[in-house]
């Protein structure tokens, strides 16, 4: 792996160079900034060029670092619409991870859930549907009926579930979000921001990778008679011409040249006389943008057309959020621009690896005995998202706290490693460092 060199900067007596690289890093890697052992995500990188989108609010966030690479009105509150369901899905995934549910748990469908208006997966009152199918209905086709059914089962009522949603939002750090219901339908005081939705998406992808995969499914084939789903692959094999979205009845197989074994399989998956509904995923980027694998659309009159999307290219993932687009077409076009901008204009670099010692002359420390050297280190990484070709302009130094003076004890916090941009002294990262050795106080003679 070829390393890049960062140029020099002298701050409070330190002049040093560091080697940085952009390795392939998984979510479980210690370089993943989980806000527990790394630079905080509020360090925002300056955009290399202006990005203009035809939406009132947007944000693009690097998944690994949490750094923002583009934004406009990202903290302005707006109606969430069906983006609300990302939080509902988050709670379901949390319950599964905690062992309170399984993907195969059968959920009873109430009359209230089945009668919920708006977009549907078409569950029937009195039926029992698996958690997996209901999550597909919620995530893939934005089924309000599926969402309410899950909320009722987990918390007893949509109201109690909404309280859990708001508690979870606070825990994630969604400071400008309030939910009024599990599905995002108009009613009550509800709002979110592009920034908060990016935080939610990032936490979801990191904590629940198995559940997140459902967002990448391109459609839902629903047996409305037997209340269970059939895979898209099986539908294409058995019924390649079936595209009914209104409960079409299966009367014959449209696939040709099926062998006996396949015909037998198809007859079991698609019984003659059963009603089936085929709905495509409402996230059109799954069909138009290579690397997109999620996440969720939303639309109401107040919210406009919204989309939380995520894409991976060259092992790098970005999360894009657009809110308030004037049309579904604009939502898709502007989300495409946003993701493409992030994926092509930025890179991740390791500016400081945790516990790397830096040794410098201690003569500039107040009251220090001359001729000593001090070694400092931090237990945190500085792993940042920066514009491509930006690295040569970054400078590193150590800034000692103004109150620091000898004697200094090993383990004492003495200052910060600081990363700045060129000679502008624009700080993009700073982490505390501790002394790795004692520094003696100078004598009186």
Q: Catalytic: which of 70, 94, 142, 309?
A: 142
Domain-located, residue 304 = no
Name the residue among 106, 155, 151, 94 with its Cα closest to residue 133.
106
Q: Are residues 187 and 243 in the same domain?
A: no
- Looking at the fold, whether 226 and 181 belong to one and the same domain comes out as no
Q: How many domains does the chain have?
A: 3
**How many angstroms separate the first and last alpha carbons of the chain?**
53
Residue 48 confidence (pLDDT): 53
Question: Do residues 188 and 141 share a domain?
Answer: yes
- pLDDT value at residue 322: 99
215's tokens: 């967002």
- Tell me the per-residue pLDDT of 19-41, one tens digit each, with 9 for 90 and over: 333 333 334 443 344 443 333 33
* Nearest partner of 363 among 10, 14, 8, 9, judged by Cα: 14
Catalytic residue among 38, 70, 82, 88: 82
Examine residue 293 and state whether it is found in any structural domain, yes or no: no
**Enclosing H/E stretch for 426:** strand 426-435
Concerning whether 85 is annotated as a catalytic residue, the answer is yes
Q: Minimal CA–CA distance to 231: which of 239, 242, 220?
A: 220
Q: What is the DSSP letter of 17?
A: -
Query: Distances in Å between the alpha carbon of 219 and those of 214, 249, 281, 284, 417?
Result: 10, 18, 5, 11, 49
- The reply to whether 84 and 133 lie within a common domain is yes
246/305 Cα distance (integer angstroms): 24
Shared domain check, 26 and 84: no
Cα–Cα dist 390/340, whole Å: 18
176 shares a domain with 85:
yes
Residue 300 inside a domain? The answer is no
Binding residues for substrate: 296
pLDDT of residue 131: 99
Q: Which of 108, 115, 177 is nearest to 143 (CA)?
A: 115
Q: What is the pLDDT of residue 389?
A: 84
CA 171 to chain CA centroid, Å, is 15
Among 228, 262, 280, give the residue marking a domain's end: 280
Domain for residue 224, yes or no?
Answer: yes
- CATH of residue 13's domain is 2.60.410.10
Would you state the pLDDT for residue 426?
Answer: 84
User: Residue 175: CA atoms inside 13 Å, Cβ hemisphere, count?
Assistant: 4
Residues 188 and 233 in one domain: no
Task: Of 89, 93, 291, give the one whose Cα is nearest residue 197.
Answer: 89
Question: What pLDDT shows up at residue 257?
Answer: 72
Catalytic residue among 38, 70, 85, 337: 85
**d(C-alpha 179, C-alpha 71), whole Å:** 23
Q: How many Cβ atoms from other residues are within 10 Å of residue 152's Cβ?
A: 20
Calculate what percentage of the chain has a pLDDT beyond 90: 74
Indicate the residue among 245, 262, 280 that finishes a domain: 280
Structural domain contains residue 206: no
Q: Is 329 within a domain?
A: no
Same domain, 150 and 89: yes
Q: Are 185 and 246 found together in one domain? A: no
Residue 393 has a pLDDT of: 84
* Whether residue 223 is found in the same domain as residue 182: no
Residue 158's domain is classified under what CATH number?
3.40.710.10
Taking each helix axis as running N to C, give the angle between helix 144-155 and helix 158-172, from 0 to 180 degrees, rounded to the nearest 10: 90
- Segments of the chain scoring below 50 in pLDDT: 1-47
Q: E strands of 227-291, at which residues? A: 228-230, 248-249, 275-280
pLDDT of 213: 98
Q: Residue 99's pLDDT is what?
A: 98
Cα-atom radius of gyration of the chain, to the nearest Å? 27
pLDDT tens-digit readout, 221-232? 999 999 999 999
Q: Give the structural domain span for 122.
A: 79-192
| Residue 286 forms part of a structural domain | no
With respect to residue 162, please indicate whether it lies within any of the assigned structural domains. yes
Which residue in 272, 226, 246 sits closest to 128, CA to CA? 226
Quick one: 102 and 172 in the same domain? yes
Cβ atoms within 10 Å of 126's Cβ, excluding its own: 11
Tens-digit pLDDT profile for residues 254-307: 556 788 899 899 989 988 888 999 999 999 999 999 999 999 999 999 999 999
Predicted confidence at residue 206, as pLDDT, reads 98
∠ CA 38-196-284, rounded to 5°: 110
Q: Among 238, 256, 280, which residue terminates a domain?
A: 280
Specify whether 179 is located in the same domain as 259.
Answer: no
């Amino acid at each position: 792996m070829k390393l890049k060199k960062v140029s020099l900067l002298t701050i409070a007596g330190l002049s040093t160079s560091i080697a940085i690289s952009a390795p392939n890093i998984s979510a479980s890697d210690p370089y993943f900034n989980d806000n527990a052992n790394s630079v905080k995500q509020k360090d925002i990188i300056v955009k290399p060029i202006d990005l203009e989108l035809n939406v009132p609010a947007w944000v693009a966030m690097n998944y690994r670092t949490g750094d923002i690479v583009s934004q406009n009105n990202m903290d302005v509150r707006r109606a969430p619409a069906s983006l609300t369901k990302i939080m509902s899905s988050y709670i379901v995934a949390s319950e599964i991870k905690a062992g309170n549910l399984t993907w195969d748990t059968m959920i009873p469908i109430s009359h209230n859930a089945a009668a919920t208006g708006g977009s549907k997966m078409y569950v029937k009152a009195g039926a029992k549907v698996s958690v997996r199918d209901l999550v597909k209905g919620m995530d893939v086709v934005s089924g309000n009926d599926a969402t309410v059914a899950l909320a009722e089962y987990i918390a007893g009522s949509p109201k109690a579930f909404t309280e859990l949603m708001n508690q979870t939002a606070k825990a994630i750090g969604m400071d400008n979000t309030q939910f009024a219901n599990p599905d995002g339908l108009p009613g009550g005081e509800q709002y979110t921001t592009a920034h908060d939705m990016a935080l939610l998406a990032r936490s979801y992808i990191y904590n629940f990778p198995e559940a997140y995969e459902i967002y990448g499914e391109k459609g839902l084939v629903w047996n409305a008679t037997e209340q269970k789903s059939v895979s898209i692959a099986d539908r294409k094999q058995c019924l390649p011409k079936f595209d009914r979205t209104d409960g079409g009845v299966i009367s014959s197989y449209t696939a040709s040249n099926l062998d006996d074994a396949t015909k037998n399989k198809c007859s079991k998956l698609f019984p003659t006389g059963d009603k089936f509904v085929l709905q495509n995923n409402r996230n059109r980027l799954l069909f138009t943008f290579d690397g997109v694998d999620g996440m969720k659309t939303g639309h109401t009159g107040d919210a406009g057309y919204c989309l939380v999307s995520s894409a991976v290219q060259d092992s790098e993932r970005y999360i894009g959020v657009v809110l308030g687009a004037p049309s579904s077409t604009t939502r898709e076009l502007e989300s495409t621009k946003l993701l493409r901008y992030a994926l092509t204009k930025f890179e991740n670099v390791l500016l400081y690896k945790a516990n790397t010692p830096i040794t410098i002359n201690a003569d500039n420390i107040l009251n220090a005995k001359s001729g000593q050297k001090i070694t400092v280190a931090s237990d945190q990484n500085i792993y940042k998202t920066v514009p491509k070709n930006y690295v040569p302009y970054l400078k590193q130094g150590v800034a000692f706290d103004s109150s620091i003076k000898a004697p200094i004890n090993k383990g004492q916090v003495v200052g910060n490693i600081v990363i700045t941009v060129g000679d502008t002294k624009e700080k993009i990262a700073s982490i505390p460092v501790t002394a790795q050795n004692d520094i003696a106080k100078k004598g009186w003679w």
